[in-house]
Amino acid sequence: MGWGRGRASHIEAPTEWRGTTVQVCGLWPFGAGSGTPVVGVPLGRSMTSGAALCCDPISWFQRANLILNPSEFVLGKPGLGKSTVVRRQALGLAGYGVNPLVFGDLKPDYVDLVRALGGQVITLGRGRGFLNVLDPGEVTEAAKRLTGDARRALIADAHGRRINAVGSLLTIVRGTPITDREETVLNVALKVLDERHPGIPVMADLLAVIRDAPDPVRAAVLDRGDIAKYRDTVEDLEASLVGLLGEGRLGDMFARPTSEPMHRDRPVCFDVSSIDDSEMNLQAAALLACWSYGFGAVSVAQALADAGLEPQRHYFVILDELWRVLRAGRGLVDRVDALTRLNRQRGVGMAMITHTMSDLMALAYEEDRMKAKGFVERAGMVICGGLPAAEMPELTQVVNMTGAEQRMITDWSTPPAWDTGSGRKSPPPGLGKFMVKVGGRPGIPVRVELTEAERDINDTNRRWAR
């Protein structure tokens, strides 16, 4: 090597070392900024600089101050690793003391992870487990430990969640939202039920209160002393509630006492994978019920921590297959929005996962589509896997992307090629590759790298290997 000694056909890349600015400050001018954050859960290496990327919504919000709220929206075609990214974040956050909470696992994608972390797996499905949406969970016991405004706030929050959960289930049964009058009737009837019932009520008890026509419920109906008018007004509501008692399309999954209460001091996964994909309404109902019940447990933990009665616990809430709930009936976007907004508080991070923007834009009504798009707009960060080119116009309306970033994401959606040598399909080009976007900042393309210890809990094709 040297001047005039001929052309070098190959020059090896110099060895790169990484360190903090304090450690490498004496190496000037041979140091260069990595450009990727190193706060949070390690995901993999940047595909442009090779630098390691650490990324999760809680660390970027709480410690790095890179995002405005601890939430993320994950998009990508099936089979490219969306769940793997979220599992890696959940595993890393568990090491920081943050409990992962999976409110409805349809595949299942998270059961093995939660079991490996020593968490609780709650199985739900036809004949496998039951979830009573009228069950306040640990609210009753927690309220006895609280006083004043804190106690009243916890009870009011639990009441609102139960009304929202019942309204959501009725919306799925009907395919259309319940009326304002019916929601008022449910609200008053549930208050009467709580005063009358000594234990934890079930759906049949709520129906019995409405049929008994107590004075507070009749006043809400505005029957003006005419019992015939009362019966006519609540007839549709009665019919829908009967459909939740075991005879309707949702079966008796929500009609019996909760089969296994949720613990709030460990990782939790609601396993609903036994519900077949052909039963989309039951899947959506199960997800909504799990979200409502789980968020209620989180509220209890936060209330007790705020009162100094228990240590502050942090949670990473995972809402997978969001599109299944949104498509189950008109008005469910508002129900999901109400559930998630009630937990925009410190100590709770959230990951919402769906396949494409088309899942959100396929809703029948314009107002629902705009509200669903707001889920992406309000997320602290957006993580995109491989997506078809047709997705880019919708996606770029809510996430600023350069042409190069769009081409990279669409290239990742290319189908796998056939390997003639082995006679098998090659891995998809976009497997494990994701673009991390925060506001208008340049995206960070990253390849997720798994350790050997993670590979078994990330094998979602285990049944095909048997």
CA distance linking residue 436 with residue 74, whole number of Å: 9
Q: Name the more confident of 12 and 445.
A: 445
Category of 188 on φ-ψ map: left (φ > 0), alpha (ψ -120 to 50) or beta: alpha
Give the per-residue pLDDT at 34: 60
Q: Where does the pLDDT of residue 342 fall: very low under 50, low under 70, confident under 90, or very high at 90 and above?
A: very low
Q: Where does the pLDDT of residue 229 fall: very low under 50, low under 70, confident under 90, or very high at 90 and above?
A: very high
Q: Where does the pLDDT of residue 417 fall: very low under 50, low under 70, confident under 90, or very high at 90 and above?
A: confident
Over the chain, what is the mean pLDDT?
Answer: 87
Window from 1-15, 234-248, 422-436 with minimum mean pLDDT: 1-15
Does the pLDDT at position 329 exceed 70? no
Window from 2-16, 42-56, 77-91, 362-376 with minimum mean pLDDT: 2-16
Q: Where does the pLDDT of residue 466 fall: very low under 50, low under 70, confident under 90, or very high at 90 and above?
A: very low
Q: Name the more confident of 35 and 78.
A: 78
Q: Where does the pLDDT of residue 361 fall: very low under 50, low under 70, confident under 90, or very high at 90 and above?
A: confident
Encoded tokens for 202: 């079930």
Give the per-residue pLDDT at 341: 61
Give φ, ψ of 419 to 5 degrees.
-85, 105
Does the pLDDT at position 464 exceed 50? no
Q: How confident is the model over 44-62, as a mean pLDDT?
A: 90
Q: Where does the pLDDT of residue 110 fall: very low under 50, low under 70, confident under 90, or very high at 90 and above?
A: very high
Give the per-residue pLDDT at 436: 96
Give the per-residue pLDDT at 36: 78
Give the per-residue pLDDT at 463: 47
Tell me whether residue 266 is exposed, middle or buried, using C-beta atoms within 10 angstroms of its C-beta: 0 to 12, 13 to 18, 19 or more.
Answer: middle
Q: How confident is the model over 26-30, as a mean pLDDT?
A: 68
Does the pLDDT at position 358 exceed 50? yes
Contact 194, 136 (CB under 8 A): no
Q: Where does the pLDDT of residue 343 fall: very low under 50, low under 70, confident under 90, or very high at 90 and above?
A: very low
Q: Where does the pLDDT of residue 73 fall: very low under 50, low under 70, confident under 90, or very high at 90 and above?
A: very high
- pLDDT tens-digit series, residues 186-222: 999 999 999 999 889 999 999 999 999 999 999 999 9
Contact 220, 163 (CB under 8 A): no
**Which pTM does this prediction carry?**
0.86
Does the pLDDT at position 71 exceed 60? yes
Does the pLDDT at position 385 exceed 90? yes
